[in-house]
Chains A and B, each alone.
Chain A
């Protein structure tokens, strides 16, 4: 019984660490949706681009790891801004389904482009950390780093959104786009900045994922759907809802996987998602 409890505790703690990472993933998607009202279906592919960028900067060009990561974040932020400027902007007034389809198109484009450019073999930056052992419990160091950085990133985003003029404008514009010019705000500029921020968050996620996972052109599929589900679960565009939903989802995966097999964790989490959708289609904390 004693041993059993310790392993359960380990599963709960690992779920907590996973939750931090998933919360960071959902934050960028929620931010963009909340402000621009467009879902970046290709969000996880931006993360994939960031992971390849870090790999090339660090392994191939031999830059210091932190510099490679900073450059990766900057690159994905620029990619987010470009995505808005060249793909989203022309369809801003179009039907939601068209907006979904163009970002879906970008998803397949990025996947195919990565396959052509980098091949399908798995790449790894080859940075390894010893596990952290506390009595009978062990954690992976990259997960702990990911958790800490994800929380710090979210705190920084929270402070930016609540304390600065630009952050306040980003929260305001989702409520009334049409009168923003009366405040001296150029809505197009806010959209570009928000998209760059969404990209930067995806870039930050790639820094954390690259420490834990191999890089391949389809890696977005491992994170895209789950990120989207978490956002829907928390109420699309609701950043706080997404934050809480990420931790709930991660516990289902981690603790569910502990009681059954690891793969079952995901099955249980998705069943939970479906059940919630029957109960509250707008998400647990969604409005309307």
Chain B
């Protein structure tokens, strides 16, 4: 397996992580690394365990064996609600906005951490500069936003904590094809802002254009990894996922 190449300090490292739900193992001995400033994708088919992987990193699911380290400190004994204080924010699958709260209140929830509160106004300004559409809709009820706007709001909410690492779970899922394009453009801008990003996607062709490196996850196991260019060129990926 071609794990991370040299250079760049490891921000997130998974070492032989297994995890699952009651009576069902979803991840088997998964090892991966995300270096500071990098954008990394985990690609794979539906049901491969991609969402489980992000939920495990956020500690919403217990690690059964192996170790997760954020900046060289283990996350294994950290409860889910303290993970964000270690600098990991997640944009969950399906966006999961608070549908009856306004855009502004959703963003406020992203700044719930006591450490994030003093910088609320400053980060709100930053998020609005990134997504001017959100500022126009700041008083609107989040459930009435369009799919693309909801995704902006969900990403904005995650950025409000000032994360070191952003986890994105299928940001393009359930959106119209036209909108999907703009979402990947958003992801590209987030990466360009210098955020370290770990993104999970089924839309392999698109996501590989945005990230530096990727891992292929199949039935809960890392099957291969490499730079985006390597994976785009590999026969395995081309045949199975790109239909070429």
With A168-B109, A181-B60, A183-B110 known as contacts, the answer to whether A175 contacts B101 (CB < 8 A) is: yes
Per-position binary interface string of chain B over residues 64-101, scored 1 when its CB falls under 8 Å from any chain A CB and 0 otherwise? 00000000000000011111110001101000101111
**Interface check A275, CB cutoff 8 A:** no
Q: Which of B83, B92, B112 contacts A169 (CB 8 A)?
A: B112
Q: Across the two chains, which residue of chain B brings its CB closest to A175? A: B98
**Interface check A4, CB cutoff 8 A:** no
Bound complex: CA A178 to CA B117 (Å): 22
With A176-B96, A180-B81, A182-B92 known as contacts, the answer to whether A168 contacts B161 (CB < 8 A) is: no
Chain B neighbourhood of A165, CB < 8 A: 108, 111-112, 117
Most chain A CB within a 10 A radius of its CB, from B60, B105, B112, B113? B112
Q: Are A182 and B105 in contact (CB under 8 A)?
A: no
Q: Name the interface size band of chain B.
A: 20 to 34
With A181-B59, A181-B81, A183-B112 known as contacts, the answer to whether A171 contacts B101 (CB < 8 A) is: yes
**Interface check B58, CB cutoff 8 A:** yes
Q: Name the interface size band of chain A.
A: 10 to 19
With A165-B117, A168-B108, A169-B109 known as contacts, the answer to whether A181 contacts B83 (CB < 8 A) is: yes
* A210 to B: closest C-beta gap in Å: 37
With A183-B110, A183-B112 known as contacts, the answer to whether A168 contacts B105 (CB < 8 A) is: yes
Q: Are A184 and B92 in contact (CB under 8 A)?
A: no
With A171-B101, A175-B98 known as contacts, the answer to whether A184 contacts B84 (CB < 8 A) is: yes
Q: Are B101 and A183 in contact (CB under 8 A)?
A: no
Q: Are A172 and B101 in contact (CB under 8 A)?
A: yes
Known contacts A175-B99, A186-B79; 20 further A-B pairs (Cβ under 8 A): A165-B112, A168-B101, A168-B109, A171-B100, A171-B105, A172-B101, A172-B105, A175-B98, A178-B60, A181-B60, A182-B80, A182-B84, A182-B89, A182-B92, A183-B157, A183-B161, A184-B85, A184-B113, A184-B161, A186-B81
Sample (20) of A-B pairs whose CB atoms are under 8 Å apart: A165-B108, A165-B111, A168-B101, A168-B105, A168-B108, A168-B112, A171-B100, A175-B98, A176-B98, A179-B92, A181-B59, A181-B80, A182-B90, A183-B84, A183-B110, A184-B81, A184-B113, A184-B161, A185-B81, A185-B112
